[in-house]
Amino acid sequence: MTHMTHDLLTALRPLLAAEARAEAHACGTEPGDLEQAVWLRLLELLRADRPPHDPQSWLRKAVRSEARRTRRTAGLERPYALEPADDHERGPEHLVLTDARHRALRDAVRRLPGRCPRLLEALLSPRDLTYREIAGELGISQGSLGPERSRCLSCLRRLLAPEVAAHEARG
pLDDT, averaged per 10 consecutive residues of the chain (171 residues), comes to 78 94 88 92 89 93 93 74 58 84 87 91 86 89 89 89 60 47
Q: What confidence score (pLDDT) does residue 36 get? A: 92
Q: What confidence score (pLDDT) does residue 81 get? A: 62
Please state, in angstroms and as integers, the Cα–Cα distance from residue 81 to each residue in 87, 93, 128, 159, following that order.
17, 28, 9, 31
Nearby residues of 58 by Cβ (< 8 Å), 6 or more positions away: 42, 52
Q: Which of 7, 38, 42, 40 is nearest to 20 (CA)?
A: 38
- What's the CA gap between 101 and 83, in Å, rounded? 19
Task: Let me know whether 10 and 72 are in one domain.
Answer: yes
Q: What confidence score (pLDDT) does residue 171 get? A: 47
| Domain of residue 154, CATH code | 1.10.10.10
State how many domains the chain has.
2
Instruction: State the residue range of the domain holding 36.
Output: 3-76
